[in-house]
Structure 1
Amino acid sequence: MRQRIVRMALVAGVTVLALLLLLATCGGGADDPKGTPKPARTATGSAAPAAPVTRLTVPAAYDTHRGWELPDVSAGYVVDPATGLVAYLEPVGEARYRLRTVDATTGRPRWTGRPWHPLGGPGDVPRLLSLAKDGRRYVVAWSYGSLRGDPLTPASSFVSLDVYDAADGARRRVEVPWPDAPIVTATGPGVVVSDGKARSTVVAPDTGEVTTVAPEALGYPKGCPECRTLTEVRGMTPKGLLVSGARSFWVRGGWASRGHAPSGADPASGVPTSLTPGHVLARWQHKKGARRAATHELWAVHDVTTGAPLVQTECRKPAIEPGEHPRAVTSPGARYLAAGSLAFDLDARTGRCFENPDGTSPLTLTTVTDDGVVYGAGSARSPSDALAGGGNPVRIDLATGVPQALPPNVRLPEAEVAGVGLFRWTDPADRVHLVAYAEKG
């Protein structure tokens, strides 16, 4: 009898073990760094959310009764104008996150990724990027930290990238060994991990292939010895890495700035200040002896593929050189570009610098729409300060170029996509809400 009980217990144990193995096998998939990416869960038949509960004071172009609201995007979000996708991070427990996506127009859920543990400490939050390659769109969540082994094994630092196909959420994990805190960008068909100087690695979002580019292989232009000074990898373009040196910039294996200076500029003075998927915004000095060389600088938007200057304008030189140049933002259709006090219409080939003639009281521009409307603020310290309510809000129609003051309590849209403006506010529990209001008309 005792032997029979033992046999029955053994059979039960084997059965439980088999079930556990089966569940473990079924639960792998997209979380396996070496596995084939699998689609995430897709929401089907999900009803559109109710109109946003929060009624913010916003520009008159938006209807606060039509739209949607996400109650907690404290961990961050990213917008992909090409697909009308809003992706945001949702905390799961104390140390895990999952990526969720919604339709920008309706707020309906699209797909949801599986939870994962990012690198770093308990308070470290992954960051989000979006990019495109060969017609496919991707969302990338990345983190940086160490994987500690046994006490005799030193810690290894990595940049961990979870690359999601924007169409269905299929996920690929890529880990790049990296010794120090990285700069991670996605302005072209690859994710660039750099040290802010000449060392960089490029990750292909479609295959996960990792390509390391040595500093000596950055394709320094001939006849430019100063290009090897202050060398910095700026990002990725369709033709290769964008690199800068002292008073010059170039695309590795492609064009160089000295052959594409805007009219009236010193060819040996170009400094790239911001890179978007289609354009490079660069600052130039006037040619020596020019009438306004001592007081003004030239700003030009260059085609990222050819280097050709498309449009230019000028601004007063700052009394104090800024430590960080403003990031360029574009309209969803990429016709308009704004950065700091600069705004450009790339189709009409016009540009403006919104400041007083003596260089005082420059505007800080934050958002530009497909209708050629720019939002910003005067007397704001930075774009983030303007979006948080700092300064005096303004609206500018680039067709006229005349700033119009908005009521002081108006919140500015962080972005516009698919016919809705996106706004943020923080509730008393310190949770960040993302509120989408539809455009009127």
Structure 2
Amino acid sequence: MPSLFDTSHGWESDLPGDQLTLPHSRAVAVFRQGGKNDGTFTVLDVTSGQSLWKTRVKGPGLMSALSVTVNGKDYLVASASGAKGADVASKGREVTTIDIFPARATGDDVKPAHHLELDGDGAVAYGGGGLLVTLDDDVVMTVDPATGATKKYDLHKMKPPAGECKLCFASTKAVAVTPRGPLLATDTQPRGHYWVPGAWSSGTLTTDSEHKVFIAPVKDSLVAQWHDEGAANDTWAVLDPATGRVRAKVDCAPDQHVTADDSKGATLSANGRYLVRSHTAFDLKKGTGRCFEETDRDKPVHLTGVTDDGVAFGVGASTAAQADPRVTIDLATGRVKAGDYVETPFGDYAGYGLFWDDSTDTMVAYPHAQ
């Protein structure tokens, strides 16, 4: 483990299932799929491992679960799609169910704050500012987890702003949820055109004549990358989802072959100050960023996590003596130090780091060292 953590004490859990972080609630959930279109949430206090609450959820098909944070509040979401009312004579109708739970509750049979039943076979995802439900190629729906309110959008009718995408023939996709509606994208390989209808568009970010930008959600923030005409470097930035304005930015060496899938380890610290993605790190309080890409002088570092105190975890360039060496980075100074550890926490908040031990199928929590 990184030396940041005191491994002499802590707690562990062998509950089987998927671990879901709840950073603003000092809790972590475990979701276990059942055998008959059901599943179970068990929520544990992150500082003690004590069980806070649990519940069983059922749906019309195989259950899946995720945790979402919107406006500083955590929610657990269970969803499933399948046929309702099917019997020996009828195929029934396809529905998607969504059950939304506040992260903090008590008891052994907690009821959802909101239960939704939507027509159609939908895919439910965390869109940053809410839930994003893809119903088919041209229709999506957003869901506010606080109220359960839904809004449907026909993507076929939502074209890019005039003048920004003269030769766009690709289909429009919804890639995130913002406070002003869905963030839409088209022609996104690797840079494309993004816009929130009636609010803002990516064309205002760059001087590139084709207005092409790369944008990806990280929790409830947006990370963007573009290359201005005549510039020596790429620009990386964190955007305000409501306005598209730059909150923090940094120039990095170009041609890093960035793709939408290059986001393993992308993390926003629990206090919302630090964000890391790929080889970039941002301090949103100061509006600054740092690059850890490969240059003529420096080896690359891929960042995999960050704490509230601005300590980032990462993987350095392999050497003949060591494959994928671990490092820690002080984001205040940019100093990279070799780390004598293997495991990186999948969550870090409330003074504890959460780890998964593959060898024992155990979740382990260790406090920060004093």
TM-score (norm 1): 0.72
Shift of 1:333: 0.7
Q: Which residue of 2 aligns with 1:307?
A: 244
- In structure 2, the CA distance between the partners of 1:317 and 1:146, relative to structure 1 (3 Å rule), is farther
Q: Which residue of 2 aligns with 1:200?
A: 140
Q: Which residue of 1 aligns with 2:226?
A: 284
Shift of 1:335: 0.7
Q: Which residue of 1 aligns with 2:77?
A: 140
Q: Distance in 1 between matches of 2:323 and 2:65?
A: 25
CA contact (8 A) 1:273 1:325 kept: no
1:202-351 equivalent positions in 2, closer than 5 A: 202-218=142-158, 220-226=160-166, 229-246=170-187, 247-261=192-206, 268-277=211-220, 279-287=221-229, 289-290=230-231, 292=232, 296-318=233-255, 322=259, 324-326=261-263, 328-351=266-289
- In structure 2, the CA distance between the partners of 1:225 and 1:149, relative to structure 1 (3 Å rule), is same
Q: Which residue of 2 aligns with 1:160?
A: 97
CA contact (8 A) 1:338 1:366 kept: yes
**For each residue in 1:101-159, what CA deviation from the matched residue of structure 2 results, as whole angstroms up to 9, or x when unmatched?**
1222222222222x233444xxx5522122336x7542112233444712442364433
Q: Which residue of 2 aligns with 1:96?
A: 38
Q: Distance in 2 between matches of 1:215 and 1:94?
A: 34
- In structure 2, the CA distance between the partners of 1:242 and 1:95, relative to structure 1 (3 Å rule), is closer
Structure 1 residue 420 corresponds to structure 2 residue 349: no
Name the SS for the 2:10 alignment partner: strand
- In structure 2, the CA distance between the partners of 1:99 and 1:208, relative to structure 1 (3 Å rule), is same
CA contact (8 A) 1:131 1:186 kept: no
Name the SS for the 1:59 alignment partner: coil
- In structure 2, the CA distance between the partners of 1:197 and 1:92, relative to structure 1 (3 Å rule), is closer
Q: Distance in 2 between matches of 1:112 and 1:178?
A: 29
Shift of 1:175: 2.5
Shift of 1:349: 2.2
* Aligned amino acid, residue 348 of structure 2: E
- In structure 2, the CA distance between the partners of 1:266 and 1:297, relative to structure 1 (3 Å rule), is farther
CA contact (8 A) 1:186 1:235 kept: yes
CA contact (8 A) 1:235 1:275 kept: no
Shift of 1:375: 0.4
Q: Distance in 2 between matches of 1:157 and 1:369?
A: 43
Q: Which has a greater percent of strand?
A: 2
* Aligned amino acid, residue 142 of structure 1: S
Q: Which residue of 2 aligns with 1:395?
A: 328
Name the SS for the 2:203 alignment partner: helix
- In structure 2, the CA distance between the partners of 1:349 and 1:209, relative to structure 1 (3 Å rule), is closer
- In structure 2, the CA distance between the partners of 1:252 and 1:80, relative to structure 1 (3 Å rule), is farther
CA contact (8 A) 1:89 1:99 kept: yes
CA contact (8 A) 1:266 1:284 kept: no
- In structure 2, the CA distance between the partners of 1:244 and 1:60, relative to structure 1 (3 Å rule), is same
* Aligned amino acid, residue 418 of structure 1: A
Any unmatched runs of 5+ in structure 1?
1-57, 381-388
Q: Distance in 1 between matches of 2:337 and 2:260?
A: 29
Q: CA RMSD in A?
A: 3.0
Q: Which residue of 2 aligns with 1:4?
A: none
* Aligned amino acid, residue 372 of structure 1: G
Q: Which moved more, 1:87-96 or 1:97-106?
A: 87-96
Any unmatched runs of 5+ in structure 2?
none
- In structure 2, the CA distance between the partners of 1:95 and 1:273, relative to structure 1 (3 Å rule), is closer
Shift of 1:411: 1.3
Q: Distance in 2 between matches of 1:103 and 1:149?
A: 40
Structure whose alpha-carbon radius of gyration is higher: 1
* Aligned amino acid, residue 362 of structure 1: P
Q: Distance in 2 between matches of 1:319 and 1:299?
A: 12
- In structure 2, the CA distance between the partners of 1:312 and 1:196, relative to structure 1 (3 Å rule), is farther
Shift of 1:216: 3.9
Percent sequence identity is: 28
